[in-house]
Amino acid sequence: MRAPEFWGGDGKGLLPLLLSPIAALYGCATARRMARPGWQAPVPVICCGNATAGGAGKTTVALDLGQRLARRGVAVHFLLRGYGGRLKGPVRVDPAVHDSRAVGDEALLLAAERPTWISADRAAGARAAVAAGAQAIVMDDGLQNPTLEKDLSLLVVDGSFGFGNNRIIPAGPLREPVAAAAARCRAAVMIGADESGAAALLPPRMPVLQARLRPGPEAELLAGQPVYAFCGIANPRKFFATLQEAGAVLAGRMAFADHYPFDEGDMRDLLAEADGLRAMPVTTRKDYVRIPPAFRSRVTVVTVRLEWADTVAIEALLDPLAQRVPMPA
């Protein structure tokens, strides 16, 4: 879906007001669900979550934390619902067998790095991961899922969007009140500059770790080159800004709904548009896995990585969890 425009407003329009009774019921249902206890895994569980519907950078944060734990010798497994996929799990993702229609796009990105499980029932997924040798589990999303207890939860915030109009679904983008989500988190991760004033809505003593998205090494080849950028992510402006930061010349751009399933007709149109502009078609890794395989060789992928303002702070949060993991003799 594409988020309604009023989700990013001030929350004072007619539609948010009319939808507020439904939003109140949604918020109460979430609160009741979160009051239930979950399963305590025998290994550390880290959750990269957010308070809003849509992307905030959770997958990028999960990948970064997985790499940091792996460098300590920890056998990390990723766990997520597999949004956009038809499989409910628990199932271990195999990029050679599964496509985005089966397991979702984020699962394929994570599985390219570490063992990855999708499971609508997060506790069942965690049990499967532990049985397969996981020494730590990093969850991509799941802050509002109570079936699995978390040892460390981080509230990931997109600095350009923040919490939108600060109203609950469907009146706004919030899955629950910001205060409720923050109360279950050890720290917030602010990705990009806080253009929306989101930090002011967080608890006063809550640590806010600053990070930014940096283009991957392949972006250097785009400097000075005309590109036709297309993507189906929650905040396409971030991708377009990443390309401009790399020095690419945006000859054209096209934004689709988040998790958009590209078909052959879409790709023929996009490639024809790029050819007409004499520009290189480029997209994100997340979108690339949703492109029909026959068209992938025509498209350049631009990756991003997370750059922390203070790496000591994030490592300090991981320290006590890493120390709980039994290391081989």
Q: Which residue range is the domain that position 264 belongs to?
A: 217-302
> Are residue 233 and residue 95 in the same domain, yes or no?
no
The answer to whether position 277 is within a domain reads yes
* Least confident residue range of 1-15, 137-151, 270-284: 1-15
Instruction: Indicate the pLDDT class of residue 2, thresholds 50, 70 and 90.
Output: low
Query: Full-prediction pTM beyond 0.85?
Result: yes
The answer to whether position 53 is within a domain reads yes
> Are residue 60 and residue 206 in the same domain, yes or no?
yes
- CATH classification of the domain holding 206: 3.40.50
pLDDT for the residue numbered 328: 56
Residue whose C-alpha is closest to residue 144's, from 21, 224, 29: 29
Phi and psi, residue 240, nearest 5°? -65, -40
Q: Residues 135, 72: contact at Cβ < 8 Å?
A: no
What dihedral do alpha carbons 263, 264, 267, 268 form, nearest 10°?
Answer: -150
The answer to whether position 48 is within a domain reads yes
Q: Residues 120, 88: contact at Cβ < 8 Å?
A: yes
Three-state DSSP class for residue 246 = coil
Looking at residue 76, its amino acid is: V
Residue whose C-alpha is closest to residue 162's, from 305, 310, 7, 306: 7
Dist CA 175 CA 62 (whole Å): 20
> Are residue 109 and residue 226 in the same domain, yes or no?
no
> Are residue 113 and residue 236 in the same domain, yes or no?
no
> Are residue 312 and residue 264 in the same domain, yes or no?
no
The answer to whether position 7 is within a domain reads no
Q: Looking at 142-237, which runs of residues are DSSP E strands?
A: 152-158, 187-191, 208-215, 226-231
What dihedral do alpha carbons 305, 307, 313, 317 form, nearest 10°?
Answer: -10
> Are residue 143 and residue 161 in the same domain, yes or no?
yes
> Are residue 315 and residue 256 in the same domain, yes or no?
no
The answer to whether position 100 is within a domain reads yes
319-328's contacts with Cβ under 8 Å and 24+ in sequence apart are 321/44, 321/46, 321/69, 321/136, 321/151, 321/152, 322/44, 322/69, 322/72, 322/74, 322/136, 324/43, 324/44, 325/43, 325/44, 325/74, 325/135, 325/136, 326/135, 327/73
Phi and psi, residue 309, nearest 5°? -70, -30
Q: Residues 180, 158: contact at Cβ < 8 Å?
A: no
Q: Residues 122, 141: contact at Cβ < 8 Å?
A: no
Indicate the number of domains in the chain. 2
Looking at residue 278, its amino acid is: R
Tokens describing residue 267: 């790709």
Is the pLDDT confidence value at 258 over 90?
no
> Are residue 64 and residue 45 in the same domain, yes or no?
yes
CA of 152: how far to CAs of 5, 18, 47, 135, 312, in Å? Answer: 33, 37, 6, 15, 16
pLDDT tens-digit readout, 241-254: 889 888 899 999 99
Element (H, E) at 176: none
More confident residue, 71 or 322: 71
pLDDT tens-digit readout, 193-219: 999 899 999 999 999 999 998 888 888
The answer to whether position 121 is within a domain reads yes
> Are residue 166 and residue 138 in the same domain, yes or no?
yes
The answer to whether position 10 is within a domain reads no
For residue 293, whether the previous peptide bond is cis, meaning omega lies within 30 degrees of 0, is no
The answer to whether position 19 is within a domain reads no
pLDDT tens-digit readout, 18-67: 888 998 998 898 988 888 889 999 999 999 999 998 777 899 999 999 99
> Are residue 276 and residue 205 in the same domain, yes or no?
no
Residue whose C-alpha is closest to residue 116's, from 90, 142, 152, 153: 90
> Are residue 233 and residue 170 in the same domain, yes or no?
no
Dist CA 157 CA 154 (whole Å): 9
Dist CA 182 CA 204 (whole Å): 11
pLDDT tens-digit readout, 171-193: 999 999 999 999 999 999 999 99
> Are residue 177 and residue 202 in the same domain, yes or no?
yes
